[in-house]
Structure 1
Amino acid sequence: MTNAGLPEAVLFDLDGTLFRTETLLETVHRRVFETLREEGLYTSEEPPVERLLGSLGMLLEHIWQRVMPDGSPEAHERANELLLRYEIEELEKGIGELYPGVPETLRKLRERGIRLFVASNGLEQYVKEVPRLRGIADLFEGFYSAGEYATQTKAELVRILLEKHGVRSAWMVGDRSSDVEAGKQNGLFVVGCDYAGFRREGELDGADALIGSFADLEQLIAQRA
């Protein structure tokens, strides 16, 4: 694949890239642990929501190992079910926001003839419902999730996406080390999103470029066109 000029496609992570996940998860996190306590599956003190936000980008099984390491396998499994149910319920109520400039910038990229995809380690329904419920689903050619494709790494998920759609040159845009690794392992130009507030230090090391707001992406592409 080539990094020169205008990319044929741009692949986006979802949480912390397109979607301000903390605007949804603060409510969802509280509801998940209230239900787990009511059902007797988790009796320890509620973990801070920052621990969940800091785990985004991981596979769900690894998220719960980090968020509640003292939780049983049954508690982790139930938390998966509750997380998805409450996320969809709150999204349908209008809770949860895209980052500023996301719809406008995506439309500008489409006008340039660039193919757009989502690649996320999240659950299939969540990865498809966030764009649909926030009015940007029609801008994307496909939605790829670890939940749907049962992939163990973001790099594997991106490889499947590229092969299925015959993409020859692409950019990977995301806010996590898994996005940087996925891009690099597949020979992509990697843009790190330096605006999500719940990253770990050094998360974007190795990215080819950093953007301080989502709208900066269009300018970055224009400079390289």
Structure 2
Amino acid sequence: MSLSLIFDMDGTLFQTNKILEISLQETFNQLRIMNLWEKETPIEKYREIMGVPLPVVWETLLPDHTNIVREQANEFFHEKLITNINEGNGGLYPNVKEVFGFLKERGCSIYIASNGQVEYLNEIVKFYHLDQWVSETFSIEQIQTQNKADLVQTIMKKYKIEKGAVVGDRLSDIIAAKSNGLIAIGCNFDFAQEGEMSQADIKIDSLQELMSLECILN
């Protein structure tokens, strides 16, 4: 039986922190120009909730604003993220391509499941040529429930996955794995939280460790 690995994107494969701050600053500067924001940019608050669906992000960052303003902020934010990706300001975590090549050589199937928007994810995949290893990239936008576990279930059904793991840095990734009978591999990276990582079946400090995990490669 072949093994399938489903990877989160932000904070797992892609070092979102490299473009997060500048894109968020530019977004809130725009809100200031529109007289819709006066306080400091809530960067730390965003870091705390990194990985939740986008509607929740903007409800949290702009709790006193209308949905129209939240949607405008989200659109502007993603325009800036994509610009920064294409200007090379972001970056993959170390050894992503090496690990993907290793896994593919051993017959593993690789997928991406993310709470990010479709266009944003596609830009990352295209810029770093990840499609040479990744079978398909899935966004939470593609399902109605906005639930990561349901997104993983959708992938499993489409590709008839019976054995595999979800690799991610947040609790939603761990829950998505366990609720679907997969191994939960927690990435103890930039946005990871200790309490969440303790619930993973396996915790890694670098993606390269996937190359020596006998429990998933055998």
TM-score range, shorter chain: over 0.9
CA contact (8 A) 1:17 1:174 kept: yes
Identity %: 34
1:48 maps to a residue whose letter is P
Q: How does 1:79-98 map to 2 (within 5 A)?
A: 79-98=73-92
The aligned residue for residue 190 of structure 2 is 197
CA contact (8 A) 1:47 1:68 kept: no
Match for residue 213 of structure 2 among 207, 211, 220:
220
CA contact (8 A) 1:50 1:198 kept: no
Determine whether 1:207 maps to 2:200: yes
The aligned residue for residue 65 of structure 1 is 59
How far does the alpha carbon of each residue in 1:122-174 deviate from its partner, in whole angstroms, 9 at most, with x for none? Answer: 11111221121122222100111112333321000000110011111111000
CA contact (8 A) 1:54 1:199 kept: no
Determine whether 1:49 maps to 2:43: yes
1:160 maps to a residue whose letter is T
2:192 maps to a residue whose letter is R
Structure 2 CA distance for partners of 1:224 and 1:90, relative to 1, 3 Å: closer
- Offset at residue 47 of structure 1 (A): 2.9
Structure 1 stretch 13-22 or stretch 42-51: which is displaced more? Answer: 42-51
Structure 1 stretch 147-156 or stretch 159-168: which is displaced more? Answer: 147-156
The aligned residue for residue 117 of structure 1 is 111
- Offset at residue 224 of structure 1 (A): 4.6
Structure 2: gaps (5+ residues): none
Scaled by the length of structure 1, what TM-score is found? 0.91
Match for residue 154 of structure 2 among 146, 149, 160:
160
CA contact (8 A) 2:149 2:179 kept: yes
- Offset at residue 222 of structure 1 (A): 7.4
The aligned residue for residue 28 of structure 1 is 23
Match for residue 103 of structure 1 among 97, 106, 109:
97
Determine whether 1:132 maps to 2:126: yes
Scaled by the length of structure 2, what TM-score is found? 0.94
How many Å separate the matches in 2 of 1:118 and 1:223?
A: 17
For the aligned residue pairs, the C-alpha RMSD in angstroms reads 1.7
Structure 1: gaps (5+ residues): 1-5
How many Å separate the matches in 1 of 2:214 and 2:38?
A: 48
The total of aligned residue pairs comes to 218
How many Å separate the matches in 1 of 2:26 and 2:88?
A: 16
2:14 maps to a residue whose letter is F
Structure with bigger helix share is 2
How many Å separate the matches in 1 of 2:129 and 2:65?
A: 36
